[in-house]
Amino acid sequence: MRKTVFDCSLIELPRIQNRSVSLTPINNYKDIPFEAKRIFYVYDIPGGVIRGTHAHKECHEFLIAGSGSFEVHLDDGKDKKIVMLNQPYKGLHIPPGIWASETNFSSGAMCLVFASHEYEEDDYIRDYNSYLDYIRTSKSDLP
């Protein structure tokens, strides 16, 4: 079944506070709804830069603002939604089939990404018109 922006969920992660520090553990299938096979982070992001601007065919992603803040723009070809990430103990689950981009990074922002698949270029849809064609042809998957 094709996903919509309403299937993207903000998840509050566990927070352990001890004296003057906080720690957030992240466990596969418990804290995030998939097994993370790749983890990476984006940092030193110049002002005005837009990151992402793609969709995945199979890969799930979970984004966290490890520091600072940024907006995630979500698009399913019909509806759009913007989610602000600005707390390191909250993350956004983006299932496959959703066009996503990250914008408005604060100074010193860091975007931490957990991915359900190892990097595979064929899983990416990087052109928006190709994305619209992809979801149009996958409408037969809808109930």
Q: Among the options 54, 56, 60, 93, which is catalytic? A: 54
Chain centroid to CA 31: 15
Confirm whether 54 is a catalytic residue. yes
Looking at the DSSP bridge assignments, the partners of residue 67 are: 110
Q: Decide: 79 and 6 in contact? Cβ < 8 Å.
A: yes
Record the tokens describing residue 128, joined without a space. 């928006």
Q: Decide: 134 and 125 in contact? Cβ < 8 Å.
A: yes
Chain centroid to CA 81: 13
The residues assigned a catalytic role are 54
